[in-house]
């Protein structure tokens, strides 16, 4: 019984990590693609990968900080909203930075 509970807890953590990576990656790439302004005709793969990384790390960081400070617990809707908001903000900031580095 303990092994099943441990496996369920481990799968929950792994799925949460993957979900935040996907959410953060998508919002980072969307911010990079839809950012208005002058840019090159083709975006490089390095910028896309950095946008995914920045978005994913910011989503994970907002989840960890919110749980550490006691604002929410794992799996609550506020955790998801903070992850989405943090990754959107970080993605937009990275898009501004990437647009100025031409």
Residue 38 has pLDDT above 70, yes or no: no
| Confidence at residue 37, expressed as pLDDT on a 0 to 100 scale | 62
pLDDT at position 9 over 60: no
Confidence category of residue 5, pLDDT binned at 50, 70, 90: low
**Could you tell me the residue range of the domain that residue 91 belongs to?**
2-100
Q: Looking at the 3D structure of the chain, how many domains does it have? A: 1
Which residues, 6 or more positions from 38, have their beta carbon under 8 angstroms from its beta carbon?
99, 102
The mean pLDDT of 56-83, rounded to a whole number, is 86
In this predicted structure, the answer to whether residue 92 has a pLDDT above a threshold of 80 is yes
When pLDDT is cut at 50, 70 and 90, the band that residue 101 belongs to is confident
From the list 61, 29, 69, the residue with the least C-alpha distance to 48 is 29
Higher pLDDT, 39 or 88: 88
């Amino acid at each position: 019984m303990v092994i099943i509970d441990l496996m369920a807890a481990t799968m929950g953590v792994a799925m949460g990590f993957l979900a935040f990576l996907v959410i953060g990656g998508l919002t980072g790439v969307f911010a990079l693609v839809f950012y208005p302004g002058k840019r090159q005709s083709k975006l490089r793969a390095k910028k896309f990968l950095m946008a995914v990384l920045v978005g994913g790390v910011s989503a994970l960081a907002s989840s960890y900080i919110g749980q550490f400070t006691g604002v929410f617990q794992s799996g609550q809707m506020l955790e998801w909203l903070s992850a989405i908001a943090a990754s959107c903000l970080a993605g937009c900031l990275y898009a501004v930075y990437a647009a100025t580095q031409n």
